[in-house]
Amino acid sequence: MIPLSRYLALMCVLSIWTIAAGCGDGQDEVNGRCCDLCHPGTYMKGFCSEKPSVCIPCEEGHFSDKYNMFDRCHECRSCQQDYAKKCTTTTDAICSCRSGFLCSNNACSKCEENKCVTGEKPNRTDSRGVNRLIKYSYTCEPQPSCPDNSYFDVKADVCKTHREGIDSIHLILGIGFVLLSLTLLMFLSLACIKNFRKHKAYNTPMEVLAVPTKASDFHLSKEECGFELIVQDESKNSNSFGPLHLEEVGTC
C-alpha cells in the first residue's frame, strides 16, 4: 500500500505537470513555456523562449491561413490560366481553367485540353502526386443517351430535362412587361402634349382691334348723333389761362 505522503507528493507533481502542459487557446508550448501563436496572415520572427513572440505580416505573394509558429509564410499558388480567386495574406489563390480545358490536378494549377468530341464525356482518374497534390488524367467515354426533351450535363454527369414551360412563362412575362411599358410611355406622352397645348393657348397674346378715336371716323345716323365737346380758350393772353367753356355741338 502506498503511503499517504507519497500519494500526496505524486498528486502535486501531476498537478504541476498538467498546469505547465495545459497552454490556452492560441498558444503552444516551447521549451516548457506557453507561447502565443501568430495570427493568420502573419508569421513568427522570434520565438518566445526568451522573450515574447514577434509576429510579422506576410509579404506580397505569400499567405498563412492558420495560427502558426512558422518562420515564414507559404508562397501563393501560381495559376496557369485563370484565377477564380486571387491570393491574399490569409488565403491561397484558387485557380480555374478556361472553357475547353480540364484541370490537371486538384488545385487546378495546370490545365489540359479537353480532347473529347461531341457525344463523349471525359472520365477522370485520380493519382497522388507531391506536395499534397492529386493528379488528374482523363479518358473519353460515350455519353449516355438521354430521353427526349432532355440533355446531358457534363459537369453534373446526369441527364437534365429542358424546362420549356418555365421558359415560355418567362417569355410571356417579358412580352407583357414590354407592352405595359409602351402603354405607360404613350399615356405620359399624350398627357405632356395636352399640357403643352393648354399652356401655349393660355400664353398666346390676344389681338387688339384698333378703334378710331376721331369723331369724323364714325358714320352715325341722325338718331345716334352724339355731342362733341369743344374747348374754347376765351383768353388770348399767353401769360395766363382763362376759364374753359364747353359747348355741345352735334356730330351729325
pLDDT for the residue numbered 50: 60
**pLDDT for position 83:** 95
In this prediction, residue 93 carries a pLDDT of: 95
CA 143-147-151 angle, 5° bins? 55
pLDDT recorded at residue 103: 95
In angstroms, the Cα distances linking 170 to 43, 149, 173 are: 54, 18, 5
**What is the mean pLDDT of each successive set of 10 residues along the chain, which is 252 residues long?**
50 46 75 85 79 86 93 94 95 94 93 90 88 90 77 68 63 88 90 82 58 52 48 45 46 48
Give the chain's domains with CATH numbers: 23-96 (2.10.50.10), 103-158 (no CATH)
Handedness of CA 17, 20, 23, 29 (dihedral sign): negative
- Going by C-alpha positions, the residue among 138, 114, 109, 142 that lies closest to residue 126 is 138
- Taking the alpha carbons at both ends of the chain, their separation in whole angstroms is 162
Q: Which three cell numbers stand for residue 217?
A: 371716323
Task: With H, G, I as helix, E, B as strand and everything else as coil, classify residue 112.
Answer: strand
Alpha-carbon distance of 216 to 13, in angstroms, equals: 142
Q: What pLDDT score does 128 carry?
A: 87
For 189, the grid coordinates are 406622352
Q: What are phi and psi of 82, to 5 degrees?
A: -110, 160
Q: What is the pLDDT, as a whole number, of residue 206?
A: 55
Question: Residue 171: its pLDDT value, please?
Answer: 81
Q: State the pLDDT at residue 131.
A: 75
